[in-house]
Chain A
Amino acid sequence: MKQLLRIAFFSTLIVMSGGAALAVQPDEVLKDARLEDRARHLSSELRCLVCQNQSIDDSDAPLARDLRVLVRERLQAGDSDGAVMDYVVARYGEFILLRPRLSASTYALWLAPLVILLSGAILARQLFRSAGDRKASSPPLSDEEARKLRRVLEQG
């Protein structure tokens, strides 16, 4: 219940503040620049759960801050990027990933653009093929027509 109230309170706050992003605070930044870069990259792929379509990297919600700190703690503990993501997903569910993982429920999401592109390409190919057919299907000139054509050409 407390958690719910907290979420309700902070989501109102965010709506009120118009999502003015204050995001990462100076005290969160890791000393190790490469580790920090990795942390920033991972943060941009994680959704702030109490915001509307913001990553935790852009959000100033306290929950987003907790998550940023969590990600940095895991990285400092020596986790790989994949392990950090697994850890976060295990706690918060797939909903937190801004780039959904390939699974039975997301095959359609990831494959649809490719399928559409290929079917479009096949349809477009038919445009040329039928154009080619139409050209081929026009019958060759008869002898009479050929003679006429030659006459016209010679005159011109």
Chain B
Amino acid sequence: MIVEIGHFALILAFAVALAQMGSAAWAAYQSDDAALSIAPSAAMAQFGLLIIAFSALVWAYVASDFSVANVWQNSHSAKPLIYKISGAWGNHEGSMLLWVLILALFGAAVAAFGENLPARLKTNALGVQGCIGAAFLAFVIFTSNPFARLDPAPFEGQGLNPILQDPALAIHPPLLYAGYVGFSMAFSFAIAALLEGRISAAWARWVRPWTLVAWMFLTLGIAMGSWWAYYELGWGGWWFWDPVENASFMPWLAGTALLHSAVVMEKRDALKVWTVLLAIITFALSLMGTFLVRSGVLTSVHAFAVDPERGIFILAIIAFFAGGGFALFAWRAPLLRQGGIFAPISREASLVLNNLLLSTACAAVFIGTLYPLALEALTGAKISVGAPYFNAVFVPLMIPLLVAVPFGPFLAWKRGDILGVAQRLVFAAGLSILAAIVAFAITQRGPALAPLGIGLGTWLIIGALSELASRVKLFQAPLAENWRRLCSLPRSSFGTTIAHLGVGVAVLGIVSTTAWRSEHIMVMKPGEPVDFAGYTLTFKGITKREGANYVEDVGEFVATQNGREITSLLPSKRQYTAPPTVTTEAAIHPSLAGDFYVVLGEANAGGGVVARLYFHPLIRLIWIGACIMFLGGALSLSDRRLRIGAPARRRASPKLASQSP
């Protein structure tokens, strides 16, 4: 019964989405102001209905109702509760339901918190949201129904792929989707503005918080996926340039560019046409990401849905929204008036450079990901485009961007003084050179350019802090004055500093682990100590253990440092019963210097075991950096909400508002 209620709510949500779209179109064409209020109510109703539908599916999973085909295919009664719940979106149908739920959540948030939006813009944007919702709800209902029943009901389910039974993967898809789908708001606002043929700097101010939220979740979602790959796939790789990773990385690159160009539009009324185009591109890339993953067109480790019918359906959705968006843009963009002129050395110009490099990097990832498909379709020739290509193309684009980052926030709007900025960054430059020299001195091997990478990370961190220091006039004014200035700084300016600092932290992690990762593969006999990366490791033996839905062989390794026992490492090989699968679980000992990572291999005839030891220096900084970036976004968002939500307060403190970047 509960499942039927969920199914019914899903279909009703589809009807409501159509009403949301239709009422907005009616209000626009008939200039009927009375109809303007329908779309916001519909958005709320759609969200409510989808909550019911999604809860019904989760309930079916928790109750192990195997009469539901989706539950039977992807769950098992012996699974731990958390994976029963996360199993609801660990499969194609459930994850698409989650996708539309999050889409509806964003729509409802605009309806609820967008009181200060012009009614027409709000309704138009919600109309576009309704249209996207209707398209994807049709996709779910007609090709991927999670509520289809089986008769007779099987006694036991088939189980969830064990590599997906993991806490990180339980929250990875919701975060990623919040990112993908969040960019639909920027898209809907862009389409709404194009339909009206009018766009102002205020538009950027309304769009930025939504884009920022989407970007924050996407950042966290990608980091989470990378972390999962690191500890689950068995040797400590954290980024593979896998097509599915690229599918989430492209919207991130475009979204990062969008965040920056929207700043120019908000503050200076410039780059309007480009910002609108970027909003369309970012969401088109999000749709493409959904398509690449969901259609199984790219055979890769992540693609667990292979069905051409679905692929064609999503392709039609992309063609409609991306194609329609670009066509509307080509038609209407000439109407948009460009404002705000600026010199080649200015804050605006630095953000143009940011956009140029990020967009090119995004295009390079796009080309690399799709080239083999296109080439095979056109000529039948099969080629592979893998990590070596992406590293060769992507890294040279990122280096100038990262070098330029600390300059940006220092530059004045309209016309900046590059020499003055350089002077204020002397301290950061000095420390970075010092860091590079220290890195060179303490490492004996690795690529010759790696110490420069450490210098680059330091440059980003100290450069970001220098900007904060100069704002509070550190060392130039008494401490009390510093403190007063610090307290009156807008949070968005802390946001910028912290987000840029996070990039620097991540760069340090990426460079260290890529350049100085060490590895040792050998057969270890019980009781024979092995020296590796400053640790002495002794293999004790293998014991059998039983988990909730698996049995495992656990190897015990004792790590000592200078004769003192540090930790016991327990890597294992797991045999899952449903479905029958073997996984390797690495044992990781984190320390300040890096992760000591042990993987258990095959047992050897002589009582020994193949062991793989890795040391990943500073690797945690990659994910810590991503979390810091998220935090920067959150700080900036908390400030913006205040300013947007309370225009009266903004008037009361004009000084505060004028100081923000």
Contact = CB atoms under 8 A, between A and B. Distances in A.
A113 B388 contact: no
B510 to A, nearest CB: 17
Nearest to B343: A128
Nearest to B601: A22
B581 A124 contact: no
Given A93-B382, A100-B384, A127-B352, A113 B375 contact: no
B383 A20 contact: no
A153 to B, nearest CB: 22
A17 B521 contact: no
A140 B524 CA distance: 85
Contacts of A98: 384-389
Interface string A31-61: 0000000000000110100001111001000
A21 B356 contact: no
Interface stretch (A65-73, A102-110, A143-151): A102-110
B327 interface: no
Given A26-B522, A109-B371, A116 B386 contact: no
Interface string B551-595: 000000000000000000000000000011111100000000000
B367 interface: yes
A95 B384 contact: yes
A109 B368 contact: yes
Contacts of A94: 381-383
B612 to A, nearest CB: 8
B549 interface: no
Contacts of A54: 240
Contacts of B144: none
B379 A25 contact: no
Interface in B339-374: 341-344, 349, 352-353, 356-357, 359-360, 363-364, 367-368, 371
B465 to A, nearest CB: 29
Contact of B584 (A22, A25, A106, A113): A22
B162 interface: yes
Interface residues of B, number: 58
Contact of A113 (B232, B356, B363): B363
A53 B233 contact: no
Given A21-B233, A97-B383, A52 B299 contact: yes
B242 interface: yes
Interface string A8-20: 0000000011111
B576 to A, nearest CB: 10
A67 B78 CA distance: 41
A75 interface: no
B367 A109 contact: yes
A100 B363 contact: no
Interface string A133-147: 011000000000000
B359 A53 contact: no
A81 B357 CA distance: 33
A131 B386 CA distance: 42
Contact of B352 (A23, A97, A124): A124
Nearest to B245: A53
A108 B371 contact: yes
A122 B16 CA distance: 47
Interface in A59-88: none
A45 B301 contact: no
Given A25-B521, A26-B522, A98-B385, A116 B235 contact: no
B393 interface: yes
Nearest to A100: B383
B342 A131 contact: yes
B161 interface: yes
B381 to A, nearest CB: 6
A21 B235 contact: yes
A145 B242 CA distance: 65
Interface in B288-305: 299-301
Contacts of A21: 233-235, 237
Interface string A108-119: 110011001100
A99 B363 contact: no
Contacts of A116: 359-360, 363-364
Contacts of B349: 128
A126 B392 CA distance: 29
A134 B339 CA distance: 11
Contacts of A26: 521-523, 610
Contacts of A24: 521
* Most-contacted residue by chain A among B353, B388, B582 (CB, 10 A): B388
B469 interface: no
B243 interface: yes
A149 B301 CA distance: 71
A106 B367 CA distance: 11
B397 interface: yes
* Most-contacted residue by chain A among B352, B356, B384, B582 (CB, 10 A): B384
Nearest to B232: A18
Interface in B226-279: 232-235, 237, 240, 242-243
B168 interface: no
B22 to A, nearest CB: 39
* Most-contacted residue by chain A among B234, B359, B580, B601 (CB, 10 A): B234
A134 B599 CA distance: 65
A18 B162 contact: yes
Interface in B398-447: none
A49 B343 CA distance: 53
Contacts of B382: 93-95
A113 B393 contact: yes
Contacts of A113: 360, 363-364, 367, 393, 397
A7 interface: no
Nearest to A95: B382
A100 B237 contact: no
A121 B392 CA distance: 20
A100 B389 contact: yes
Contacts of A53: 240, 242-243, 299-301, 386
B163 interface: yes
B574 to A, nearest CB: 10
A105 B385 contact: no
Given A21-B234, A113-B360, A55 B583 contact: no
Nearest to B340: A131
A105 B389 contact: no
B385 A100 contact: yes
Given A18-B161, A53-B300, A124-B352, A112 B367 contact: yes
A109 B385 contact: yes
A22 B582 CA distance: 12
Contacts of B359: 116, 120
Contacts of A135: 341
9 A-B pairs with the lowest CB-CB distances in the bound complex, closest first: A98-B386, A99-B388, A18-B163, A131-B341, A113-B364, A21-B234, A20-B584, A117-B360, A95-B382
12 contacts: A16-B579, A20-B583, A20-B584, A21-B234, A22-B234, A44-B387, A53-B243, A53-B300, A55-B386, A98-B388, A113-B393, A120-B359
Interface of B: 161-163, 232-235, 237, 240, 242-243, 299-301, 341-344, 349, 352-353, 356-357, 359-360, 363-364, 367-368, 371, 375, 379, 381-389, 392-393, 397, 521-523, 579-584, 599, 601-602, 610, 612
Given A21-B234, A44-B388, A53-B242, 11 more contacts: A18-B301, A22-B234, A25-B521, A47-B384, A53-B386, A98-B389, A100-B389, A113-B363, A116-B363, A117-B357, A124-B352
